[in-house]
Structure 1
């Protein structure tokens, strides 16, 4: 995919001014409609270029590290944005461009992230919703399996020479799986839509020989969902199991939403069907072992990290 460099005098075919309303550590995002004569993309939410909306991500690239972040995320996205290499549950890069020293990417516009979905849509425990939840959890794990490199086909017997054409650095690690980095797209397939893993900023790719050689203190992470090995710093190396832990945390919250609703995940408390008021899952984790954070494990210096009692209780 070509990266375009345009003059600041060039008028882009956006139908309204960009409003940078959403942002993160590495950039800001704006919603835009693009004139249909200048694009023919079909998004998960619409099969027509006339009605599609898009997300323009502007990167904070004020130094060499910011440019490096852009290049690494773009390289990771390109692996899953080509015609025959994509996955329904992985975000797709549509275009990247540059105006002077400002860097941009264009994606399909999502209706929100998974945390916003939980808050916006009440759970409806039923056979239909249970099937949808299972399908989405399977899709997310299958997409992550593609990132991890386990979906890459090996050469047929007798054609081992084709190994030379395979990318040896095909073992990926997303590095920041959390509800805020899982987007939902509403569409004709389901009234619940479908979920997509996004934000490849921290994604890194390794060969089979180096996938287990990244020091834990060199990995960016979100505090609530980080695995126990981050407590040990440079003495411990992380691998793809890092993503399995964080995805498992998301699944546990997903099932909690399905059974009990949003307040049971992130509110201070929630009301049960019998009228009792109980602490939310997040509040229980914060109170567990006298701690103040909402990690899924506790750690006492000198001892091995341990899954919090509230997590064991919620999981059972």
Structure 2
């Protein structure tokens, strides 16, 4: 096609060819070959047709920004495929004929297999995005000027060209409209690459802040799935393009936790606390890990593995132990052991800290153990479905002092599963979590023996048992869904401790002009002592399960341990998380020995 070349056309004139800066791209090449098609450079319609096909293919493969921005992004593999070396060479061949220069430019733009960009970044896409942006404004000839620059030679890693990073001198010939079009075009092609966070090294002060103008490589998984909207965060199920992360999960589905913006930037402090908490959480296969942490468009985000089985409460609601093939008492005991292991390693971390890391693991109180924070990960074993349970959400966890205690007012209030010492004590210890876990275990066995409806009804029964009226200043009944109730112990008649006379002055208005002043004498003696006890409804419920025909001997033994070692009012005599782990492991070993 280009054998007949005009003598006055050479490579140096490539960048000076005049083109429409905002062309109307044609869907095909010339309908018929005219005289201009046989000359070099080829007629503009051939170049425009090539442009059209490239831009069309990029548009087809682009993905929308899930956060409602104007941005889109082209997945890396599609960008590499559409603008491979051969296609780039063919497109540039419509503009110049020098084969040596064609090869140099195509290598600069589209490094082939086994080649890397001159920047030596293996993730760099060469100068493909720059070329596509220039194609969009009909100025791809300027790529020769970019190639000729050596200090520095730009590439896609140099993007974005914006206010803080102005266009290079090689693009100085662009007018204002072309500059704006170029900047817009580059946004439609770029996306971030998400790297797995190393919480042992990375600190909050070194948190990765991603370029706001580039899209995140997130894909919509299920448009009908509603995000989980919590007090401080929104949790979404997302997909991440496989070529845009090294998060190392078998599934391409992830959970994105976004912190809601709060007045005065309060979300930053909440995110920071959770970031530090996850830094100091041990790596354990029964603890849900943080995969990525970053800031993007003024919002803070975590990425976690996606729990395709939901949380434990959802599992109870969805499945019946009596009709589910994967369920067995051994499975329940094994999963309870796994959660106990995760809690024990949180309370007493034994991980060896590598030199150079920025933190030291210390005992931590999880402080928010409940079914919603135990996530279920589906697994397939021998063609059969099953679930692995993992402890999640360390956002409210607190580092415990050297004496293994913590001030009660530093712990977030837990409604149903909170232990009695939260109400009565100023200091709490790690066994706070053990009470919460005992509550969850009791509900877990309830589901296994009686089904979800019994778990739901158990909560209603607990609510019907109220606190002693004398323990609260609230008028009427003090109704709470807890596993314990507060009781008052009035002083005995002969207890004269604290005997004090009190005089109360009252004024009684008898008419508009007269009033009677009264002095009332009262004696106060002794102080009413307040304590806690396990609710009778909880004890009765445990007996109902124990006497049920579906309750196995292992479950009866487990129930006895929950009642006598976990749901114990005195935190000092309550079992530690390590003792819970040892108990359950002993039960599992006994099961294996019987087999």
Shorter-chain TM range is 0.7 to 0.9
Distance in 2 of aligned mates of 1:206 and 1:167 = 15
Report 1:194-213 matches (<5 A).
Answer: 194-209=388-403, 211-212=404-405
Root-mean-square deviation (CA, aligned residues, Å) is 2.7
Partner of 2:534 in structure 1?
Answer: 307
In structure 1, stretches of 5+ residues that fail to align are 155-161, 267-279
In structure 2, stretches of 5+ residues that fail to align are 1-197, 467-476, 489-528, 544-595
Work out whether residues 169 and 207 of structure 1, in 8 Å CA contact, stay in contact via their aligned partners in 2. Answer: no
Query: What does the per-residue CA deviation read over 1:150-194, in whole Å, with 9 as the maximum and x for residues that have no partner?
Result: 54479xxxxxxx9xx996661100001000111111112462311
Shift of 1:65: 4.1
Q: Does 1:122 align with 2:320?
A: yes
Partner of 1:41 in structure 2?
Answer: 247
Distance in 2 of aligned mates of 1:203 and 1:192 = 29
Shift of 1:286: 1.1
Decide whether aligned partners of structure 1 residues 221 and 36 sit closer, same or farther in structure 2, where only a CA change above 3 A counts. same
Q: Does 1:295 align with 2:494?
A: no
Work out whether residues 148 and 171 of structure 1, in 8 Å CA contact, stay in contact via their aligned partners in 2. Answer: yes
Partner of 1:86 in structure 2?
Answer: 283
Q: Does 1:146 align with 2:345?
A: yes
Work out whether residues 398 and 411 of structure 2, in 8 Å CA contact, stay in contact via their aligned partners in 1. Answer: no
Report 1:96-245 matches (<5 A).
Answer: 96-111=293-308, 112-124=310-322, 129-152=328-351, 170-189=362-381, 191-209=385-403, 211-212=404-405, 214-232=406-424, 235-245=425-435
Question: What is the DSSP-based 3-state SS (H/G/I as helix, E as strand, rest coil) of the residue aligned with 1:300?
Answer: strand
Work out whether residues 92 and 107 of structure 1, in 8 Å CA contact, stay in contact via their aligned partners in 2. Answer: yes
Moved over 4 A (4+): 17-20, 125-128, 165-169
Distance in 2 of aligned mates of 1:228 and 1:169 = 28
Query: What does the per-residue CA deviation read over 1:47-66, in whole Å, with 9 as the maximum and x for residues that have no partner?
Result: 3xxx5200110012424543
Distance in 2 of aligned mates of 1:146 and 1:69 = 24
Distance in 2 of aligned mates of 1:194 and 1:124 = 19
- Between Structure 1 and Structure 2, the one with more strand by share is 1
Question: What is the DSSP-based 3-state SS (H/G/I as helix, E as strand, rest coil) of the residue aligned with 2:487?
Answer: coil
Query: Which one has more relative contact order, counting CA pairs under 8 Å at least 6 apart?
Result: 1
Partner of 1:55 in structure 2?
Answer: 255
Partner of 1:284 in structure 2?
Answer: 461
Shift of 1:215: 2.4
Partner of 1:276 in structure 2?
Answer: none
Shift of 1:262: 0.4
Shift of 1:121: 0.8
Decide whether aligned partners of structure 1 residues 149 and 9 sit closer, same or farther in structure 2, where only a CA change above 3 A counts. same
Q: Does 1:67 align with 2:268?
A: yes
**TM-score relative to the length of structure 2:** 0.44
Question: What is the DSSP-based 3-state SS (H/G/I as helix, E as strand, rest coil) of the residue aligned with 2:293?
Answer: strand
Decide whether aligned partners of structure 1 residues 168 and 38 sit closer, same or farther in structure 2, where only a CA change above 3 A counts. closer
Distance in 1 of aligned mates of 2:445 and 2:335 = 12
- Out of 31, 51, 61, which is 2:237 matched to? 31
**Larger deviation, residues 99-108 vs 120-129:** 120-129
